[in-house]
């Protein structure tokens, strides 16, 4: 989202009409004071602000925004009819990322905003790039979920880039996600957002509060656990660790062939120390191991079971078979296979997304 602040309606409309066709969401305010209040509830990717405005000018707005939201990394662009060097220098020395002069040229605006955001994304995030030919989009989502990442995935298409946001591994609503499941070629970039320091003021100094566990240093972080369950020639990797998820920080994932096939999480008490949490990790890990063995036994997939290819009800096999049918355009067959897989693992979030996508396609076809 890009925020535009200008007391002249014509410029708010012009910037919206210029940026929205390029794929940006624009929120406009006629007052810097109003914008400052509303921005408490939203974090923009970039702010464009006029300088000469009643009540609060752009320079003061920029200064106040930096004071209120020092933990954010928001690029700031000024626009003004002033062309004197003093105003331009004051704006840039005050921390602005660029200065646009009125009247505005749409092509230049789009180019500058795109360039600023690319620089921002490049220098304040961790990134990983690859090709959908080697790594399908569904596998990318599995990775983001398993690592509980916060950031975005950007995929280059023939018609431009598609950006999918995720928070704590959860994919946010996106109308374009259907397109990505249909793509078997193209470049993608996973960008991990920088740490958000907005909650640092509420961190406990003298110990844990009733609402929030005490902050643990890396030396105090509870020990995780890793094990494997071998079935024929394949290994289910079971990993339990203490994560940064404040609501349910004890996380266990089961990985098969690089794909998360099961995930379990649990909360900890504010009073729990390192020893207590490690005991909880151990108990949850053993519980998940037992759950995996029980499921394999019920499917005939224990250590004495026939080969993987002879087990048609295996989640992994059903998932892959459904994906193959989807790629071939056999949506009804894909839905049938994925619904069978859902019965085996109803908690798989990427499978849930796949089911939503294929159901939407079948609904549109009727």
Closest CA to 358 of 206, 50, 336: 336
pLDDT of 212 = 43
Name the fold adopted by 2-122: Rossmann fold (3.40.50)
Query: 62-76, 142-156, 231-245: lowest mean pLDDT where?
Result: 231-245
Looking at the chain, the whole-number percentage of residues with pLDDT higher than 70 is 81
Q: Is the pLDDT of residue 164 over 80?
A: yes
Whole-prediction pTM: 0.41
**For the chain, what is the largest distance between any 2 Cα atoms, rounded to a whole number of angstroms?**
82
Of 32 and 218, which is predicted with more confidence?
Answer: 32
Q: What is the pLDDT of residues 282-306, one digit of tens each?
A: 899 899 988 888 887 766 544 433 3
pLDDT at 73 over 60: yes
Average of per-residue pLDDT across 137-149: 83
Reply yes or no: is the peptide bond before residue 158 cis, omega within 30 of 0.
no
Give the whole-angstrom CA distance, residue 56 versus residue 54: 6
Just give the CATH number of 312-365.
1.25.40.10
How far apart (Å, rounded) are the C-alpha atoms in residues 320 and 82? Answer: 60
Structure confidence at residue 213 (pLDDT): 41
> Would you say residue 136 has pLDDT above 50?
yes
Question: Is the torsion defined by CA of 325, 326, 327, 329 positive or negative?
Answer: positive
Q: Can you give the C-alpha Rg of the chain in angstroms?
A: 25
Q: What does the buried/exposed string (b/e) look like for 290-317 if buried means 16 or more CB atoms within 10 Å of the residue's CB?
A: eebbebbeeeebeeebeeeeebeebbbb
pLDDT tens figures, 217-265: 434 567 778 777 776 656 777 888 887 677 888 988 888 766 677 888 9
- Cβ pair 331, 365 in contact under 8 A: yes
Q: What is the pLDDT of residues 187-226, one digit of tens each?
A: 888 888 766 655 555 554 444 444 444 444 434 567 778 7
pLDDT at residue 310 in the model:
39
CA nearest to 153, candidates 133, 128, 120, 183: 128
Q: What whole-number percentage of the chain has pLDDT above 90?
A: 12
Burial (0-12, 13-18, 19+ Cβ within 10 Å), 142: buried
pLDDT confidence of residue 5: 95
Distance of CA 310 to the CA centre of its chain: 37
For residues 296-324, average pLDDT: 60
With beta carbons less than 8 A apart as the criterion, state whether 312 and 305 touch: no
Average pLDDT value for residue range 5-15? 88
Mind giving me the DSSP string for 150-205? -EEEEEEETTEEEEEEEETTEEPP-TTHHHHHT-SS-EEEEEEPPP--TTGGG--S
Helices then strands, counting H and E runs in the chain, come out as 11, 14
**What pLDDT score was predicted for residue 315?**
80
């Amino acid at each position: 989202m890009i925020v535009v602040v200008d007391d002249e309606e014509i410029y708010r409309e012009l910037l919206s009409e210029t940026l929205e066709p390029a794929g940006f969401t624009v929120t406009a305010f006629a007052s810097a004071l109003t914008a400052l209040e509303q921005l408490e509830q939203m974090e923009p990717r970039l702010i464009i602000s006029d300088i000469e405005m009643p009540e609060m000018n752009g320079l003061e707005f920029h200064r106040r925004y930096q004071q209120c939201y020092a933990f954010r990394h928001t690029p700031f662009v000024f626009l003004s009819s002033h062309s004197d060097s003093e105003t331009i220098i004051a704006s840039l020395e005050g921390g602005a990322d660029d200065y646009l002069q009125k009247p505005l040229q749409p092509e230049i605006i789009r180019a500058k905003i795109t360039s600023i955001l690319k620089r921002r994304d490049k220098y304040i995030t961790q990134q990983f790039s690859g090709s959908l030919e080697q790594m399908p989009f569904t596998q990318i989502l599995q990775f983001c979920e398993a690592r509980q990442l916060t950031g975005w995935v950007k995929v280059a298409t023939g018609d431009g880039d598609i950006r999918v946001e995720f928070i704590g591994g959860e994919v946010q609503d996106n109308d374009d996600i259907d397109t990505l499941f249909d793509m078997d070629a193209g470049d993608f970039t996973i960008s991990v957002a920088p740490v958000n320091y907005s909650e640092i003021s509420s961190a406990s100094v003298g110990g844990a509060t009733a609402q929030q566990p005490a902050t643990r240093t890396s030396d105090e972080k509870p020990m995780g656990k890793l094990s494997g369950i071998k079935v024929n020639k394949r290994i289910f990797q079971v990993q339990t660790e203490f994560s940064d998820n404040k609501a349910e920080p004890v996380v266990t994932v089961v990985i098969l062939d690089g794909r998360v096939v099961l995930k379990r999480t649990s909360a900890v008490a504010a009073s729990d120390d390192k020893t207590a949490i490690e005991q909880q990790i151990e108990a949850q890990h053993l519980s998940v191991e037992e759950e995996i063995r029980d499921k394999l036994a019920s499917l005939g997939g224990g250590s004495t079971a026939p080969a993987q290819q002879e087990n048609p009800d295996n989640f992994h096999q059903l998932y892959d078979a459904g994906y193959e049918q989807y790629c071939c355009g056999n949506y009804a067959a894909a839905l049938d296979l994925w619904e069978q897989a859902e019965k085996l693992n109803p908690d798989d979030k990427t499978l849930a997304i796949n089911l939503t996508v294929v159901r939407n396609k079948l609904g549109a076809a009727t």
